[in-house]
């Protein structure tokens, strides 16, 4: 829900209609990537702050500086524990600013935090930091991952132990500037420049398998194709269905579910495929728009049930860059379709 349409919202009434409440209220958190590690739920969110940067369509107002890891014993908990600062931008040699949506993965008892940040050249890259504990603190690698670009990494571990990173985001996430594998710095700087035409196939999120040590891409990232019901790639002008940012992958009944945000139309959607690389067929909406411009999520199973972790800006009364993470149950129908969630009761 964009800021101009929230001017008349009664937030007290809205919060009473909300299907779930913020998991922490002492800090603002967003983009929750949830995993079950060591029998508990660990949430890797962005840590939203008001750094005073003006709102623009490149997301300059998202000026986050560090990460806090949250944990819960169960999704039924009404509050999450804040495990303190897990990584700060000042400790990452290659990163200057904008610590955006992170994710984490585990391998052989080590934990890996993946995060996008802008380097001193103004280009988003993806970094890795390592810890022996899922709560951190995490020690960053000295350089960003080789050949990484754009934002919103999400790491999926398949049943055979292979790990894949899904990533990318348009507008401020710069994906549209990487069409030929190199950063296109050409003017104009507008977020709407360098995008495909509305009649052309939409810009695709990326996937790459990770190396055995979890620190690099094992292959050149390739496109994730999302098709319509006729097998045709979604078009850039299909604003209610095409990819914008916030990749996530979960596996249900042997099928691969790629989910994402449509950005400026504010939906969370999913598409289903037969393998980690796709193609994926558009399946529908997971979440209707929340209060706040962005919508970003993760999907995680715990004790046989599935949960959607998401955020909204209800606690900050609609401030776009001051969000709060929440959780609600997610249901797959017998045919594999995900039931659409409405974040506020009518």
For 91-234, strand residue ranges (E) read 95-97, 103-107, 110-119, 124-131, 139-140, 154-157, 163-167, 206-209, 222-223, 226-227
Q: What is the three-class DSSP state of 284?
A: strand
Nearer to ligand FUB, 126 or 271 (CB): 126
Asked if the peptide bond before residue 279 counts as cis, ω within 30 degrees of 0, the response is: yes
Residue 292 CB, shortest distance to ligand FUB, in Å, is: 9
Q: Which residue among the candidates 48, 103, 106, 245 is catalytic per the annotation? A: 245
Nearer to ligand FUB, 281 or 313 (CB): 313
Distances (CA, A) of 58 to 170, 206, 275: 9, 20, 33
The DSSP bridge pattern shows strands 28-37 and 40-48 to be antiparallel
Rounded-to-integer distance, Cα 167 and Cα 187, Å? 24
Q: CB neighbours of 334 closer than 8 A, spacing ≥ 6?
A: none
Active site residue 158: no
Distances (CA, A) of 193 to 64, 131, 181, 187, 197: 25, 39, 17, 8, 10
Residue 276 CB, shortest distance to ligand FUB, in Å, is: 21
Q: Which residue among the candidates 31, 48, 106, 152 is catalytic per the annotation? A: 31
Nearer to ligand FUB, 281 or 325 (CB): 325
In degrees, to the nearest 5, what angle opens at C-alpha 36 toward C-alphas 311 and 175?
50
Residue 153 CB, shortest distance to ligand FUB, in Å, is: 10
Active site residue 31: yes
| Interface ranges with ligand FUB (CB under 6 A) | 30-31, 46, 62, 100-101, 151-152, 169, 245-246, 294, 296
Rounded-to-integer distance, Cα 262 and Cα 279, Å? 18
DSSP character string of 282-338: EEEEEEPPPSSS----EEEEETTEEEEEEEESTTTTS-TT--EEEEEEE-B-TTSPB
Residue 31 CB, shortest distance to ligand FUB, in Å, is: 5
Nearer to ligand FUB, 246 or 272 (CB): 246
Nearer to ligand FUB, 98 or 131 (CB): 98
Rounded-to-integer distance, Cα 278 and Cα 276, Å? 6
Residue 258 CB, shortest distance to ligand FUB, in Å, is: 15
Residue 57 CB, shortest distance to ligand FUB, in Å, is: 12
Nearer to ligand FUB, 167 or 302 (CB): 167
Residues acting as catalytic residues:
31, 245
């Amino acid at each position: 829900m964009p800021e101009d349409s929230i001017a008349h919202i009664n937030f007290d009434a809205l919060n009473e209609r909300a299907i779930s409440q913020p998991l922490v209220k002492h800090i603002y958190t967003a983009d929750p990537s949830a995993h079950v590690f060591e029998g508990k739920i660990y949430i890797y969110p962005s840590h939203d702050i008001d750094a005073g940067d003006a709102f623009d369509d490149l997301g300059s107002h998202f000026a986050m500086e560090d990460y806090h890891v949250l944990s819960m014993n169960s999704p039924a908990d009404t509050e999450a524990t804040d495990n303190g600062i897990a990584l700060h931008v000042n400790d990452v040699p290659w990163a200057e600013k904008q610590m955006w949506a992170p994710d984490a993965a585990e391998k052989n008892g080590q934990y890996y935090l993946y995060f996008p940040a802008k380097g001193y050249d103004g280009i988003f890259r993806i970094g890795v930091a390592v810890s022996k504990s899922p709560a951190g603190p995490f020690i960053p690698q000295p350089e960003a991952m080789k050949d990484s670009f754009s934002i919103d990494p999400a790491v999926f571990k398949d049943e055979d132990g292979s790990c894949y990173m899904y990533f990318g985001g348009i507008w401020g996430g710069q994906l549209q500037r990487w069409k030929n594998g190199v950063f296109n710095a050409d003017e104009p700087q507008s977020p709407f420049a360098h995008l495909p035409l509305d009649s052309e196939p939409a810009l695709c999120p990326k996937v790459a398998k990770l190396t055995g040590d979890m620190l690099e891409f094992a292959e050149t990232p390739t496109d994730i194709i999302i098709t319509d019901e006729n097998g045709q790639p979604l078009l850039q002008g299909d604003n209610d269905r095409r990819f914008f940012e916030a990749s996530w992958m979960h596996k249900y009944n042997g099928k691969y579910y790629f989910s994402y945000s449509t950005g400026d139309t504010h939906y969370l959607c999913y598409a289903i495929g037969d393998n980690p690389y796709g193609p994926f067929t558009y399946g529908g909406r997971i979440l209707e728009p929340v209060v706040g411009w962005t919508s970003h999520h993760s999907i995680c199973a715990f004790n046989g049930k599935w949960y959607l972790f998401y955020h909204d800006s209800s606690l900050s009364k609609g401030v776009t860059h001051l969000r709060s993470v929440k959780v609600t149950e997610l249901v797959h129908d017998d045919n594999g379709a995900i039931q659409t969630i409405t974040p506020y009761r009518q």
